Chains A and B, each alone.
Chain A
């Protein structure tokens, strides 16, 4: 018993140490731009886990998820940039943006309650586009969003005089902005993972899965399907809003272009590829789909070295590989790359 506990603690400590050292290892091995990418990957993990609640648990195919991401980002930009001249601290804005996104999750979810499957996907897709088009055009009569130019000079995360945009030296280590951002994002990502895990194995999580499995049976078993679907929309949107606020502070600049349909589909792909409804799978999918495209950029250099010119644009190659990867996963690992134990059992039983 105690040895099991000990090995658990050992594994936990090693993991913590690994995560703490990761940005330095990446920095030394691959370069500063990859640390930045790591930050971005953590953002996508949060987004994917948020969408996983809506799509993976409750089974509501939401193609407009990026709208909540955008909302969180714009709330942050409005309250911490020269656009309105407001400069509130991040710890006040992030919860506000997340809460507002959650509220919009309920508002946009409410009209779709009677829809399922394809119909729900089409309507949510429309909502996502509506939000983006609003952001694009709300520069008149009152300039809210600055239209397609977007909002610039957004404040970085700052606590007192400690800013995440400047390097700090501690114990002889130099922590640059991207390093510090990594730790902040890691902390919040772990919080999102923790909340997802706790919810998965709870009365609420079971009710969501029951709705996904059979909505009529769920209602006849005493589940208030309306409220629980709205709760799923709200929870998912909250995580999206949180990630949006972090994105705005991280980039320092946002425009409607960052929040298009492609982004929604990308987040959905992360879930499907990794393993829908299974937290490790979703995390893996998010990391894979954020980091892999960047690795593909190197193929441009290889082509130039080998052939003297670029035959296949790395950006095109990316879409091609995504398509192939999705088809391959659907054919050979329909439950995702890292399916949950129960999905594995299900497919094993189906074969046997």
Chain B
């Protein structure tokens, strides 16, 4: 609906000055003797799809967990717009506008697909016990609105036909879509996706790519961990590469893919 407008806005913004949405400054995190993240700094601009890549064990998911409040960080600072995120619990990070999905899908298995998305509405609704028990007008309105939005989101990600099925019984690719719908229900300004294409077949990947591009067109900013190099190169506006907890490169896909440090990290030093 408002897609073209946002698109225009973006292209004009790319030429002019970019507004940083997420600012990560010198973030470090160690587990015992293992330095999982060392002085990571990066900026994600509003409206872009930012890719986070690196070999296995590079610290990508650790960074995600640090961003979303699941891990506390040892040093550094994380800001979303002007709000400090570091040191805050996960639900507050989400309230601030940063939603995420998980590498190993974490749905509410025994809830239906629709209910999973409804849980996503929790953060943006306020009804309490009294409202629920007495079915106050405000609660009823809120509930109806939540259901409408949840159903719309299921249609949006293309799994409306599964609305009343238990999440655990959905096909794998649809479970990933459901996780995205649940995250979208929280009305994030930044959506962080941890390997959304993992385990998907070619057709599912193509559909996912379309979905992510649509979300970007609607004005959402995406942060993406992905192993599928083709998907990342085609989709992302910019990339950061992690290796052993250190950021070794950052830039457009073109620049990053030619970076000798990146090639070495992926193929080994001998390759150069």
Mark A residues whose CB is within 8 Å of B: 194-195, 198-199, 202-207, 209-210, 213-214, 216-225, 231, 235, 342-343, 345-346, 349
Contact = CB atoms under 8 A, between A and B. Distances in A.
Contacts of B142: 203
Given A220-B106, A223-B119, A349-B169, 9 more contacts: A205-B132, A206-B111, A207-B122, A210-B111, A216-B70, A216-B90, A217-B108, A219-B91, A343-B110
A343 B111 CA distance: 10
Contacts of A207: 119, 122
A204 B169 contact: no
Contacts, number: 114
Nearest to B131: A202
A231 B28 CA distance: 36
B132 A198 contact: yes
B127 interface: yes
A271 B99 CA distance: 36
B122 A209 contact: no
17 contacts: A202-B132, A203-B118, A203-B127, A203-B132, A207-B122, A214-B107, A214-B109, A216-B70, A216-B90, A219-B89, A219-B91, A220-B100, A221-B94, A221-B182, A221-B183, A223-B123, A349-B169
Counting contact residues on chain B (CB < 8 A from A), the size range is 35 or more
B109 A213 contact: yes
Majority DSSP secondary structure for residues of A touching B: helix
Given A206-B111, A206-B118, A214-B108, A221 B123 contact: yes
Nearest to B118: A206
Contacts of A224: 89, 91
B186 interface: yes
Contact of B115 (A204, A206, A220, A235): A206
Contacts of B91: 219-220, 222-225
Nearest to A227: B91
Contacts of A345: 166, 169
B112 interface: yes
B110 A342 contact: yes
Contacts of A235: 129
B155 to A, nearest CB: 20
B129 A209 contact: no
A320 to B, nearest CB: 33
A18 to B, nearest CB: 26
B111 A199 contact: no
Given A213-B108, A222-B186, A198 B133 contact: yes
A219 B127 contact: no
Contacts of A203: 118, 121-122, 125, 127, 132, 142-143, 146
